[in-house]
Structure 1
Amino acid sequence: MFRKDYLLRMMEEMTEAIGKAFTLRQQRKHTEALSELDELLRRQFGMNLSLLNSLPAEDVIEMFRFRGVIEVDNLQQAARLIEEEAYIYGEKARVEGIDDQEKQDSEDEGLIRLMKSLHFYLYALNHGANPKLLDAPERVQSILEQTKEYELPARTEKQLALYQEQHGRYDLAENSWYRVLRVGEGQLVNYREDVKAFYERLSKLEDGQLEQGGLPRQEVEEGLAELIR
């Protein structure tokens, strides 16, 4: 009960802060809008936006570990703040009168933050976060639509593959895993064992489940054979 009340109180504060930030964004008071989000992040988690955006995603996730467990509902709230920050930068890029370089810089900053928020949403959902708390699945789909022209980092594409598998979309998961292999080629992390484990998990499912997920058994076997070759 205490934890539920705690989360509800945090959600109320977040809703209020994002509402204020949205109004300020509409008024093109971008600095004030960012300050509103930053203050909420400091108050709730003892962090700031600069810290969250300067650290690798994995390090930020570790900052939400408490007594050995990642507090994924808190993580998805941080994802929501970073998502809103991305929209502020996007709005800033559309302001008339700024030069092309400043416009490009704002667009880039917005895109980086949007992808980071996607990573946190996916990680949180893959590890048991409440999907109704922030309508995270809908937010994931929205961000994927906004970033479809860009290549996701391998670590984020991996979380997307796991997310698609978790929801029975095996064909989309397979597509993500092969993008992981392509993007991750030459990196220190070797994702081949992850992809192999994906096919091995699918091989244990019933034919009907595989068919429903868009990846018949024959394609699973062919995919694993191709990976081994």
Structure 2
Amino acid sequence: MFRKDYLLRMVEEMTEAIGKVFTLKQQRKHAEALSELDELLRRNFGLNSSLLNSLPAEDVIELFRFRGIIEVDNLQQAARLLEEEAYIYGEKAKVEGIDDEERQHSLDEELIRLMKSLHFYLYALNHGANPKLLDAPDRAESILELTKEYERPARTEKQLAMYREQQGKYDQAENSWYRLLHVGGEHPVNYRHDVQAFYERLSELEDAKLETGGLPREEVEEGLAQLNREMANG
């Protein structure tokens, strides 16, 4: 009960701060809006935006480990703040009169934060976060739509594959694994055992569930056979 009340208080505080940030954005007070979010990160988590955006995602996640467990509900709150930062930079890029270099910088900062936020949302959802606390599923889908033209980091693509499987969207999960093996990723061989385990999990499901998930049994068997051939050939 204490932890639930604690989380709700944090969410209420964050919601209030984001409302203030929204007003500052409307007034084009972008620096003040960013400062407000940075202060909330510092106060709630002892972190700051610069640290969250400079460290690799895996290292940031470790900062949320307490007594051996990643506090995923806190992580998704940090994701929400980074997401809001991204939108501020997106608004900065639209300001008339700024030069091309400054506009591109703002767009780059927006994308960095959207990708990092997406990774944290997916990781949190894959590891037991409360999906209703911040509407994280809807927020993740929104960011996926906003960033659909960009290649996702391999670590994020893996989280997306796991999340799609969790949702029962097996065809979309397979698409993410395919991208890791054949399109992106510096070391696709590292993901072969993950993909093999994915197909083996699906092979244990009923035909009707596979059909509903968009990946009929014959396609599962075909995918696993193809992967086994690739692994045999090195």
Normalising by structure 1, report the TM-score: 0.97
- Number of paired residues? 229
Shift of 1:194: 0.8
1:56-83: CA deviation from partner (whole Å, max 9, x where unpaired): 0000000000011000000000000000
Matched residues in 1 for 2:3 and 2:218: separation? 47
- The answer as to whether partners of 2:158 and 2:177 remain within 8 angstroms in 1 is yes
**Partner of 2:60 in structure 1?**
60
1:42-100: CA deviation from partner (whole Å, max 9, x where unpaired): 00000000000000000000000001100000000000000000000000000000011
1:193-220: CA deviation from partner (whole Å, max 9, x where unpaired): 1111110110111111111111001000
Matched residues in 2 for 1:200 and 1:194: separation? 10
Question: 127-136 or 173-182: which moved more?
Answer: 173-182
What amino acid is aligned across from residue 152 of structure 1 in structure 2? R
Matched residues in 1 for 2:206 and 2:143: separation? 32
Matched residues in 1 for 2:23 and 2:188: separation? 43
Matched residues in 2 for 1:213 and 1:108: separation? 35
Shift of 1:192: 1.1
Matched residues in 1 for 2:183 and 2:46: separation? 34
Shift of 1:188: 8.4
**Partner of 1:161 in structure 2?**
161
**Partner of 1:79 in structure 2?**
79
- The answer as to whether partners of 1:89 and 1:109 remain within 8 angstroms in 2 is yes
Matched residues in 2 for 1:189 and 1:65: separation? 29
Identity in percent: 82
**Partner of 1:142 in structure 2?**
142
* 1:113 and 2:110 correspond: no
**Partner of 2:40 in structure 1?**
40
1:163-196: CA deviation from partner (whole Å, max 9, x where unpaired): 0000100000000111122354433871111111
Moved over 6 A (4+): none
1:163 aligned counterpart, secondary structure = helix
- The answer as to whether partners of 2:182 and 2:188 remain within 8 angstroms in 1 is no
Q: Which runs of 5+ in 1 are unaligned?
A: none
Matched residues in 2 for 1:43 and 1:79: separation? 15
Distance 1:220 1:189, change over 3 A: closer
Matched residues in 2 for 1:162 and 1:222: separation? 20
What amino acid is aligned across from residue 74 of structure 1 in structure 2? N
Distance 1:85 1:165, change over 3 A: same
Normalising by structure 2, report the TM-score: 0.95
**Partner of 1:187 in structure 2?**
187
RMSD: 1.1
- The answer as to whether partners of 1:153 and 1:183 remain within 8 angstroms in 2 is no
